[in-house]
Every structure is written in C-alpha cells, then in structure tokens.
Amino acid sequence: MILYPAIDLKDGQCVRLLRGEMEAATVFGDDPAAQAASFVEAGCEWLHLVDLNGAFAGQPVNGAAVEAILARVSVPCQLGGGIRDMATIEAWLSKGLARVILGTVAVENPDLVREAARAFPGKVAVGVDARKGRVATKGWATETDVMVTDLARSFEDAGVAALIYTDIDRDGAMAGPNIEATEALARAVSIPVIASGGVSRMEDLTALRDTGVIAGAISGRALYDGAIDLGAALAALR
C-alpha cells in the first residue's frame, strides 16, 4: 500500500482544513516546495497535491506553488482541485504532473473523464468525495444524490488509474478513516482505491493495509503534527 503525503494549498501556503471548511484552515508552512522536499527526503514515493482555492474557483489558483513543487522533487505527484476541462488536464500533464484527479467533473461531465483517461492512460484518477455515502462536489460545497458506489462503478471500463475516496466528515479531524466504507468500495470495483480523510496514526495505516484491497492512503495533518512518523510508516508499509 502506497502512502501519499498530502500538501493542501490555499493562498500559496500549506494548510489543512477541518472537514473541508475553508474557514477552518490551519497553516503549516509558506514554502510548499520545501515541504515537498522534506517528504521526499523521508522516503515517500508519491505526493498528493490539492489546489483548495481551485476546487472552489473551478480553475487552477495555486499553479505557481504546484509548479515550484514539480521543479523541486523527482517523485510522481498527483493533483486535484479545479481541473474541469481538457485544456487544464493537458496543461498540467505537460508540466510534469504524473496524475490529475477529477472530482466535480466526474459527476457533472463523466464523458470528459472517459476522454481524458483514453488520451492519457494511467494519468487520470477520479476523486470520490462523500458525506454519508453521497458524493459532494465543488470543493465539497455542493451535495448530490449520487451514491459513491454508483459513481465508482460507472467508470469501471473507462481506464481510470485510481479512485481517491474521501470521507469528508473524517477529513482533518484526526478521528481515523472510514475503513469499512473504503474497503467496501474497493471490493465493489476493480479500480485501485486510495483512502483519504482521517488517517491520523500508524494503526490507521496498518488497518487499511490489512484489508488487503486498498491500494493507497493519503495523510496530511498527522504528518505535520508528528502523529505519524513518515519514515517509520513507509518502512512498515513496505
């Protein structure tokens, strides 16, 4: 199982939100590229980047910070937040991003996801963000009637590289991930599932790993707070 350290970008800074609320942001640093480099020095094999402003604006906002990270590190990076058209997808991939994460458009324009996954094999993931089993979009500000499993299954034949499943109520709350829901999703589809939201201690990582079906886990706040030692976690997951 791959551990993805998270760098959430708001106004050019590294932050963590509580349950996706922009007003509940804790700033962890104002040099995202240096933060990325420190994660890589600890041995991580991937980075998970989120343009929080972009998720609300519907277009990239923290592009300069993302480009600085890409220039600084050599490990593959995936990015979500405000990527909602083919031109933006192409632009990010051409700048060296390994994978784009499509969330809102996966609900509103699923044909774009299919087109992008065909055009860029292995480089398109779908972000499935949910409250109580229902998908939320537009930076989690809009709740839909779409069920998580239905959305995931609709991309079963699309060539999507991964599903990133976030339980919004757990995100940033340091209360543990929704292992049951994440495992159920992973068993319902053949697409690799990455767990996000609430991963706050080593035991969370081992519990996700021990399901045997979850491909990865994203952690942010716990790494910044020191609740999870990144080097030790990577060694344990290997």
Q: Choose, from 8, 167, 171, 204, the residue flagged as catalytic.
A: 8
Q: Spell out the residues 6+ positions from residue 27 whose beta carbon is closer than 8 angstroms to its own.
A: 13, 14, 15
Give yes or no: 85 in active site.
no
Catalytic residue among 129, 167, 171, 204: 129
- Cβ–Cβ < 8 Å for 164, 218: yes
CB-CB contact of 49 with 79 (8 Å): yes
Spatial CB neighbours of 11, under 8 Å, sequence gap ≥ 6? 53, 62
The 8-class DSSP code of residue 120 comes to S
216 SS3 class? strand
Q: Which residues are catalytic?
A: 8, 129
